[in-house]
Amino acid sequence: MYFNLKKLGFFLLLFFMIQISNGQDQKLPEWQPGFLDIHHINTGRGDAAFMVFPDGTTMLVDAGDMSETHPRTTSSRNAKLVPNRSKTAPQWIVDYIDQFLPKKQERRLDYALITHYHDDHFGEMDSLRKIASGGYQLTGVLEVGTLIPIKKLIDRGFDFPINLKDAEVQSQERFSKDSYGMIPTLKEYWNFITYQSEKVGLENEALQVGSNNQIALKHHPKDYPKFSVQNIASNGNIWTGYDNSFYPLFKEGEYPGENPLSNAIRIDFGKFNYYTGGDIAGINGFGQTDIDALESHVAPVVGPVDIATLNHHGNRDSQNPFYVRTIRPKVWIQQNWTADHPGEEVLRRITSKKLYPGDRDIFSTIMLQGTKDVIGGRLNQYKSQNGHIVVRVYDNGDTYDVYVLDDTSEEREIISKHGPYKAR
């Protein structure tokens, strides 16, 4: 009996050590000065990425929040709200930020960047939304900014290529019959901006294409001279790669839809480079590479990067071969919420050794059963298919790790750790 108990104790200890080595039941170590943290938050309701720059400057990119009454959201095609329904998606985003905000630092967001005005990126009205004291509905970034102050809110503006505040524009059929209510949500957004500007001094700006100082370190910039955020594209305006000049793809009055107008940025920290571009695409309606699409234009100025988020969540109209070959990241991150993502042909392109050599690791915030049923074993190429995805960059940009955190838990324990990777 003694021998069996001793043997059992040994195996329990071994099991415990294996659990620790796999990262289970562990918390992400606290951010430290000099770290660049990029948290891809999964709520099941769209994109949200919380970033802590090396000096503690904070930024949120997008705050997706789809209507809880919309048939698309309630269908099996879409992800469930996680970790549970005790909070709204924006409340979970803020709860996440509160957990990982640098300690002893003022509770606020230095920047919030909205890539474009779709529900899975900035919010959507519905009958369940509460009304804030400022008189606007609480959804997406509006609710986030009500719960935690935002110093500077950057979006794509409202007047190009069409003036979204113009009543005649708003009455156009594409907006008046829009089942996702972009214009009504924008009206709430404008009320939010007005109220928060007066209450907490929120500043609202359009992304300045070509700038590398609109989004800047706020606390100790001189300590990290090799850190910058380069504005690549907005409203179809593309940085030339020189100074702050850009060229336009669209003319005044030419509205291609929201996705091609997405804001796109590249974050540089020493050798490390990270790119995210909202919902831009690069495949035409016939399934061919579109050399005039946004992806084809931004790829040369983005250049090779260590990490890239999948444009348009990995939808089949994105990641064209020219784009993939040009930026050729070591790590792809998919921010997902529907069984449409990824397109099987997208997965073929981003894993193709013919487009660029070398290994590459793919992570997704979620993978729905419908996708698994259709694509099957090819999805085994993902390093992880569920969870918050955290990129942590060290050593002035020389190395980085990727952590996957449990999105079903309010504690967000580590599920797995990948790396260290060496920046190129």
Give the pLDDT mean for 176-193.
97
Supply the DSSP string of 166-229, one letter for each residue. -HHHHTSHHHHT-TT-HHHHHHHHHHHHHHHHHHH--EEEE--TT-SSSS--SS-GGG-TTEEE
Instruction: Report the pLDDT value the prediction gives residue 186, as an integer from 0 to 100.
Output: 98
State the pLDDT confidence band at 23, using cuts at 50, 70 and 90: very low
Report domain 36-422's class: alpha beta
**pLDDT > 90: percent of the chain:** 93
Look at residue 25 and tell me whether its pLDDT is greater than 50: yes
Give the pLDDT mean for 248-268.
98
Strands across the sheet containing 361-364: 246-248, 237-239, 227-234, 264-269, 272-276, 307-309, 331-334, 361-364, 382-384
For residue range 36-54, what is the model confidence (pLDDT) as tens digits? 999 999 999 999 999 999 9
Look at residue 6 and tell me whether its pLDDT is greater than 50: no
Look at residue 17 and tell me whether its pLDDT is greater than 90: no
Range from 17-31, 55-69, 92-106, 391-405 carrying the lowest mean pLDDT: 17-31
Instruction: Report the pLDDT value the prediction gives residue 284, as an integer from 0 to 100.
Output: 97
Mean pLDDT of the residues in the chain: 94
Q: Strand 361-364 vs strand 331-334: parallel, antiparallel, or unpaired?
A: parallel
> Beta partners for 391?
38, 402
- Rounded to an integer, what distance in angstroms lies between the CA atom of residue 157 and that of residue 323? 26
Instruction: Report the pLDDT value the prediction gives residue 16, as an integer from 0 to 100.
Output: 40
Contacts from 235-240 at CB under 8 Å and sequence distance 24+?
235/156, 235/157, 235/160, 235/161, 235/209, 235/261, 236/161, 236/260, 236/261, 236/294, 237/209, 238/209, 238/294, 238/297, 238/298, 238/301, 239/209, 239/210, 239/301, 240/210, 240/301
Instruction: Pick 19 or 332 by higher pLDDT.
Output: 332
> Beta partners for 38?
51, 391
Instruction: Report the pLDDT value the prediction gives residue 11, as an integer from 0 to 100.
Output: 44
**pLDDT > 70: percent of the chain:** 94
pTM (whole model) above 0.75: yes
For residue range 336-351, what is the model confidence (pLDDT) as tens digits? 999 999 999 999 999 9
State the pLDDT confidence band at 104, using cuts at 50, 70 and 90: confident
Q: What share of the chain is helix, strand, coil (3-state, %, to 5)?
A: 30, 25, 50
Look at residue 245 and tell me whether its pLDDT is greater than 70: yes
What is the CB neighbour count within 10 angstroms for residue 45? 29
Q: What residue segments make up the domains of the chain, in order of their start?
A: 36-422
